[in-house]
Amino acid sequence: MQKRKLGNSNLEVSALGLGCMGMSMSYGPAGDKEEMIALLRAAVERGVTFFDTAEAYGPYTNEELLGEALAPLRDRVVIATKFGFNLDPQFDLKAERGSVGLDSRPEHIKQVAEASLKRLRTDVIDLFYQHRVDPDVPIEDVAGAVKDLIQEGKVKHFGLSEAGIQTIRRAHAVQPVTAVQSEYSLWTRDPEAELLATLEELGIGLVPFSPLGRGFLTGKINENTTFDSSDFRNILPRFTREARQANLALVDLLGTIAERKQATPAQIALAWLLAQKPWIVPIPGTRKLTRLDENLGAVELKLTSDDLREIDSDAAKITVQGARYNEQLLKLSGR
């Protein structure tokens, strides 16, 4: 497995990580615990060293899953988790009140760190992200709290998720940011506007989540696909039947390149991301060993400059239909 460094930091990880949220939530019922533990350990055996979770996933159960699965392999892996939500069961994360369930007060950050350490069965968190920017707490205070945790030896690296450019700069001035996590793929190219240049300037790595468009770019979803009632894609504008039908043009493009390269659409989508910058580390998620192996095959897939030009040229002619989030979720992004 090839390795990459996240920005100017000394944090070296596998070129592809594993996003673990879907094992516990969002994409239908949670996966079978023993099967997920076996999958996580299989990923390590295949060279994956970078695992992404959060206290909000489950909530809590995803961290517990990783803790159990990776404890025997702890010295071989980098675990990233996140803080920043109020997960009180009485607090509706979708409700229009307060800061929509956000809580990045320094005292709360430190409480979350202690709880996450226990669930992850470890004495240090390798990468601790603010899950979403909290407008009620100055980002300098957030960065300061994580700096304290780093000085105490409980955290190694600081990260931000879905943060805006100025927020990143302000945080980085207090405690160097190792990685920023944002949605980035062939159908969500927002980071290309300003984020990539800013991260390059500051020496910060990018960790794209949903690099396969929540499964859409694999070519396994079309306008007739139905999702489990608990699958959150049901509420996403980009996953309406009409949007899916229109967006298949992008999948067709990937399929054309894939056929020529004797690869799959998912592998082309991931290889394209890996080719954008050497400090980009995508974290596709899966519950299936076959999909894990398929995704990892993208690391060895080489797209030529001509391939990349063709993909960009043809993709530019396609207008992706539907917002990536609904209005409430969009309010939490890019602050």
Residue of 57, 129, 184, 325 marked catalytic: 57
For the question of residue 57 being annotated catalytic, the response is yes
Assess contact for 146 and 175: CB atoms under 8 A. Answer: yes
Catalytic residues: 57
